[in-house]
Amino acid sequence: ATPTFAHTPVEQDVTGTVRDAQGTPLPGVTVQVKGSNKGTQTDANGVFKITANPGDVLVFSSIGFVGTEVPVGNSTTVNITLQGNVKGLNELVVTALGVKKTPKSLTYSTQRIGSEELTTAKDPNLMNSLNGKVAGVNINRSSSGAGGSVKVVLRGNKSAQGSNQPLYVIDGIPMTNYTVQQPNSTWGGDGTISYAPGRDGGDGISNLNPDDIESISVLKGASASALYGSQAANGVILITTKKGKNGATKIDLSSGFQLDRVAIKPEFQNKYGQDPNAATQSWGPAINGAQDNVKDFYRTGYTWINSVGLSGGNEKMQTYFSYANTRANGVIPENDLSRHNITFRETGKFLDNKLTLDGSANVIIQKINNAPVTGLYFNPLTGLYLFPRGLNMQPYKDNYTKLDDVRQIYLQNWPFNEDVQQNPYWIVNRNGSVTERNRTLFSASAKYDFTDWLSLQARGNMDRTNDTYDASIYAGTNGVLSGPNGRYITSNLTTTQFYGDVILNLNRSFGDIKLNALLGSSITDTKTKGLRADSYNGSLYVANFFTLQNMTPGSQISTEPSRHQQLQAVFGNASISFKDLVFLDLTGRNDWSSNLSFTPNGSYFYPSAGLSFILHDMIPMPQAVTYAKLRGSYSVVGNSVPIYVTHPVNKLGVSGGTFDFNTIQPFTDLKPEKTKSLEVGTEWRFLKDALSFDFTYYKTNTTNQYFQIAVPPGTGYSFRYVNAGNVQNTGVEVLLGYNLVNSKFFKWNTTINYSKNKNTVKELAPSIDQFILTDPGSNAYTSLIKVGGSYGDIYGRVLQRDEQGRIMIGADGLPMVAADQKFIGNPNPKWQAGWNNSFNIKDFSVSFLVDGKFGGQVLSMTQAMLDQYGVSKASGDARDAGGVVINGVDADKKPVSTIDAKTWYTTVGGRAGVSEQYVYSATVVRLREASIGYSLPASMLKSSFVKNLKLSLIGRNLAYFHKKAPYDPEVTMSTGNGLSGVDVFSLPAVRSFGLNLNVTF
Amino acid sequence: CTKNFEDYNTDPTGLTEDQLKPDFNFIGGFYPQIQSSIYYNYNNTTWEYQLQQNLIADVYSGYMMSANPFRGNISNLTYSLVNDWNGFPFSLAYNRVMAPILEVKRRGAQSVAPDFWGVALILKVEAMHRVTDIYGPIPYSQYGQGGTTSAYDSQESIYKRFFLELDTAVTNLKAYIASKPGATPFAKFDMIYGGDYKQWIKFANSLRLRLALRIVKADPATAKAQAEKALADNGGLLETNNDNVMVSGFGIRHPLYTITNKDGWSDISMNASMESYLGGFHDPRIGKYFDPASDYPGQYKGIRLGGSITAKPGYSGFSTLAYKETKSIKDNSPLQLMTAAEVYFLRAEAALRSWANPGGTAQELYERGITTSLSQWGVADQASEYMNDAVSKPAAYVDPKNAANNAPSPSSITIKWDDGATFDTKLERIITQKWIAIFPEGQEAWSEFRRTGYPKLFPVVNNLSNGTISTTIQIRRINFPQAEYVANQAEVQKAIQLLGGPDNGGTRLWWDKL
């Protein structure tokens, strides 16, 4: 102990760490000795050092926190916790590579979502919980229920053939987020075989346990993600996971049970029955009411997520462990999911706190039975919906099989032989599939602080995922989809990613100038080994026996995919600030990609620069303004190119041992795509930070896109590649937050996010004015990119009209259809907005989220087919009304005001009909989430070992305030680039409500 | 360190030059794909064949008709030509036949293995005459020059080139046989003749005869010269059913089996014209070609082209191809490109035209054509009864489901040869029997129907061509692929000049003269 004398104060060094309520160190906090001019700021680790006398009072202040005064006393250490007065205002922002920065210094827009927002109303795929909460992010869920993937597009689609999804980064390390499989046509299809189930193989992000996540930061613009180079042209979603904390041991238990019910069902007619001349159709005579076969099919699904998290530790070592169990039963019979997530994380400090080690292991085991498919094939919903009205499906439910006397085998019991429909109960029981995923993630990082301004960090990670898929398709399945002995499809795919980086960090002040710099290098190595087999083009020797050795010759068996890709990079970043008023941020990154080998363009440099000004400290402002910042940045980043395109080879055909001669011209001067991005924005806070406002404008131009374009086959090639095009996205994002009431007993916080994106295809390749994303095949839906249009424009068949716009009726009495497919809509919303409200009334908390996507059009092929078959309510109403009212003209130029319902709907309806008639506004406004929670008051828990207990009633997708389409336009058939804005018998959206219990011990 | 990058970016499932070296694979390995792609079922995709031939030539030839109301009966089957379908004969031929043949050439086949090159030329002519017979002008002489455009040739110049290529093929193969008698280096890759070059020469000569007769109206002098050359060649022609050009092996399956099979797609059935002729003639091959209608036990029932097809099951209870009873179309049936029977009918026509060396009178050759065909289908015992039937005529057609499709007998032609008949009647007789004999090769049947007008086929019921195709004259060609208009616009415009008429289904090809 230091001897002290009351009458002779001794100046001494006082040090300490300033943290927020969550225990996170706070940098940039001003520390002053009250009544003097002595002052300093906390460093990046929240640590400060100041000389003071015992008895002095230290004043801590920082934007967004309640100013706090602490007497020094005799101690030389002052550790304090600052209480935030506005949520999220001064939390450190995690930026690229896991670097934490103060919000002041950011030259671009980010948005952070905390753990509570992700776990209040949990979704098995955590990205769905972000929907409506982040400006500039468009999230579409796949139609394959629990375990399905999600399509996330930040600030508009950019790339024609590359990915448009963001990079996911966990604790600074890029994560693999490939999707094994997506449907590739309105039939379904799996990319290589047309007559295969249209399945969603799930993505990487959907596997994570939401309870393990501390926060998610969305780096929307390319500037924010420039440090990730070519992987991050579409923005980055940074995920920070929980780790153990210094202090008492804590156990969190969480149990959430939700019921899921189909929210939207097609409307059927109940007055006309089966057509005696065409048994599959319902254009027959009048009937007295019809059985609701659809209602009998769907069941109430549930999602039950239980998790336990343990954390604890001391100053030196912290431990975090969690286990989560997810069980979900789909609304379609026989569909269920089970998932186990196990996480273990250990952090520790060694060598006099100079060395920090952090290691974690994640194990994910997931199994999905009978994941719902989409498209016309293998889909129970086609047969279910098209089933003739007035007939009872019960006999086909009770006996979906029947004995074939000759073969002595139970085959499908279904009265129709049509490729597009089967007995739905046969499909769910006899066209089943099992999808399994086993994933392990190991990460380790070591950081050594040489001095308080220089540190070196090294990280490594291995992410290994094994995906298997087995479809057992029984004999008796429709002959277009299976051989007479059934069909077996199996695939086994292992993807392993190794990532490593080394980063040197430097933080120094030179008078008023502060430098925060890093220099690093990284390597990402990804290997995929696969095996695929499908008996489709061959057969099975023994019926209903699903093994490889039962496949006959002619079956497709391949050791594909087989891929090895490597990306190496060197990067650097310098953030320079002057008096904490002006911040300059410069980054540069050079990539070397193995996918670019065989070209002279193996290496690429991507720069970015940004500036921000803290206005309120520079210019006198009215009292109401507590924070004002102006920022701008510009960057150039790339998007990687696929493997092998620079070097196509001859292969063996999929069956029979023939050589498959390659007719794709090698792309020997391929360059990576380039996205130039400009972003300016401003942030303001008023009324003691109660009101906050954030505005961003951006403009991105994506050029050098690589296109695979058809060349005339007479040239000797079928396709060639070009680097060309210019796809532009411009838009604005607005965030508005207001703490309307902030009293002790009642709190009301409201936030609004708004974003608008305009996508323009300015040019494609020379002499090419369109690029097809989804080929129509024989159906009336095409998705393409066309010069002058915007990404994902939908083309379809349209009626022929005369100069007065009247529908032309041919001599045969049928409406005339134009020969070529025409533009009929674009599925992307013009703007979207979310309105989030949370209320705290004593121990109750209430929150709800309303969000809307406005503009855009979608196509319902489902409705077109229901009309064609005469089962839809529209087709019945038209018959009741004596026909369809049209503004038409016949071959003799005489006006036609009504047309026979059957003539009309069998011409315009159907998968290849006049799709123009089935385009609907995609605008949808919904109550996305709502919850009412009750926490046991702290006073009651004082002496209990339970520290916190909260029970909430939650709901998701509770109500549609506005919706014109006959399905939920947010559900997408594929999370790839194509099949956007079309519904082909997709699993309907569900409405969920349930109960959450959170207990902390 | 990027030294392994090229290794990473090389698909390990691709074939390297080192792997191609042994067993002459570096040239021969490409032939199975070529042979599987003419009557297309490479990789057994089947739907590509459906669009390459089945929903074009197989229906326009009067052989088949679909019980499936494709595109709401607004499709090729009602003369509303579907652009999304009709590019397939074109792209498949170039990408799967011409491209590997070009590769074989690049690898030096002409000098390293002139015998292989000879086979390639025969396959090329066999594949590409089908394509020009569908569209008219096509890219040919300037094929494979890279770049972004490809020039078309007139059909006349393409046919001239075919004959020259067959010259080279026969010369190369004869030279090889002379230098190495009995050697069969091509056997491993041969899906037709087990490497026997003598058979390939017969095929080449027969093909020359087929092509010569095709152009008889457009260029009679060349037709006669080429036909006589084929007839006189010491390599001979296809004479027995063992000589038939049948493709099998390398896992190839018969696409028609999958398409017609009720447990499969049930997308193709018997055409009303086939019912009329085979039924009217009491032809013993009817049960070999078709299964009785499941809706009308014991009867064979065809469907009118262009009829209003109701949704399945609608017409699917009519006669399908014979996959069930006599099982002549099986999963593993070989794919028939040309038969000895056809060659006898070609020779009969040559005799009818009084060309040199047909090897018999028109009657003798006509009758040998019939007997050869009947024996091919295992009903030779009924040959003399059949050939001597001077009474039976094609029957009128009755559609039990829709009387609007009923039609009177299309022709009064009979079977028995009549030497006193007019040239036209004799030609009708020859071509009608040839049409029956070469089933199910719709491509050749449709071409010969267009050249000769025989057999007289039922016209399309609903003609939705907007007046571009005459119902009575029937469809003459398929328009150029839409993809060519997108990627090769200028050259397509020149091709339309070469075609000499609008690019639609009503314009006659060069050899298709009135």
Contact map slice: B 390-429 vs A, CB within 8 A? none
Q: What mean pLDDT is reported for chain B? A: 95
Distance CA A133, CA B469 (A): 59
- Residue A551 DSSP code: B
| Three-class SS state of B499 | helix
Query: How many CB atoms are closer than 10 A to CB B404?
Result: 12
**ipTM value for the complex:** 0.87
Count CA atoms within 13 Å of residue A451 on its CB side. 5
What residues have CB less than 8 Å from A280, skipping those under 6 apart?
A386, A388, A416, A418, A421, A869, B311, B312, B313
Domains A1-85 and A114-264+323-404+416-792+827-856+922-980+990-1000 share a fold: no
Q: Is B453 helix (H, G, I), strand (E, B) or coil?
A: coil
Sign of CA dihedral A192, A194, A195, A196: positive
Residues of chain A with pLDDT under 50: 1-7, 86-89
Chain A residues within 8 A of B6 when measuring between CB atoms = 597-598, 647
| DSSP result, A170-184 | ETTEE-----S----
Q: Is B33–A653 a contact, with Cβ atoms under 8 angstroms apart? A: yes
In contact, B268 and B289? CB cutoff 8 Å: no
**Residues facing A240 on adjacent strands:** A215
Query: Which pLDDT score, from 0 to 100, does residue A91 have?
Result: 62
Handedness of CA A897, A903, A905, A907 (dihedral sign): negative
CA angle B10, B12, B17 (to 5 degrees): 80
CA angle A88, A94, A96 (to 5 degrees): 150
A-chain CB neighbours of B91 within 8 Å are: 713, 718
List residues bridging with A563 in a β-sheet: A528
Nearest to A873 by CA among A915, A912, A905: A905
pLDDT at A9: 53
Interface of B with A in 101-140 (CB under 8 A): 102-103, 138-139
Q: The tokens of A762 are what?
A: 């300015």
- Nearest-by-CA chain B residue for A599: B6
Q: Which residues in chain B are closer than 8 Å to A598, comparing Cβ atoms?
A: 6, 9
Angle at alpha carbon of residue B367, lines to B364 and B372, rounded to 5°: 120
Chain A hits for B11, CB-CB cut-off 8 Å, are 562, 643-644, 647-649, 651
Taking an 8 Å cut-off on Cβ atoms, the answer to whether A594 and B8 are in contact is: yes
Query: What ranges do the domains of chain A cover?
Result: 1-85, 114-264+323-404+416-792+827-856+922-980+990-1000, 793-826+858-921
- Residue of higher predicted confidence among B115 and A820: B115
Helix (H, G, I), strand (E, B) or coil at A137: strand
* A46, A852, A958, A960, B325 from A925: Cα distances, Å: 43, 4, 11, 6, 60
Q: Where are the alpha helices (H) located in A727-849, listed in sequence order? A: none
> Could you tell me which of A17, A90, A11 has the C-alpha nearest to residue A48?
A17
CB B38 within 8 A of CB B123: yes
Structure tokens at A665: 């011209």
Which residues in B lie closer than 8 A to residue A568 (C-beta atoms)?
1-2
The confidence score (pLDDT) of residue A655 equals 73
The pLDDT value given to residue A194: 62
One-character DSSP codes across B3-38: TTHHHHTS-TTBPPHHHHSGGGHHHHTTHHHHHHTT
Of A553, A709, A910, which has the smallest distance from its Cβ to B72's Cβ? Answer: A910
The rounded percent of chain B whose pLDDT value lies above 70 is 100
Domains parsed from chain B with CATH numbers? 22-499 (1.25.40.390)
| Over residues B79-85, mean pLDDT | 90
Q: Would you call A567 helix, strand, or coil by DSSP?
A: strand
Give CA A503 to chain center in angstroms. 29
- Contact B324/A at CB under 8 A: no
- How many A/B residue pairs have CB atoms within 8 Å? 221
**How confident is the model at residue A538, as a pLDDT?**
82
Neighbouring CB atoms inside 10 A of B26's CB total 20
| A82 touches A26 (CB < 8 A) | yes
Task: Name the residue among A448, A442, A454, A456 with its Cα closest to residue A501.
Answer: A456
Can you state the angle between helices B362-376 and B340-352, rounded to 10 degrees?
170
CB contact under 8 Å between B488 and A712, yes or no, is yes
State in words which class domain A114-264+323-404+416-792+827-856+922-980+990-1000 has: mainly beta
* Percent residues over pLDDT 90 in chain B: 88
pLDDT digits (tens, 9 = 90+) for B289-312: 999 999 999 999 999 999 989 877
Amino acid identity, residue A950? K
> Is residue B213 within 8 Å of residue B450, measured between CB atoms?
no
Domain A1-85 class in CATH: mainly beta
Q: Is B334 on the interface with A (CB under 8 A)?
A: no
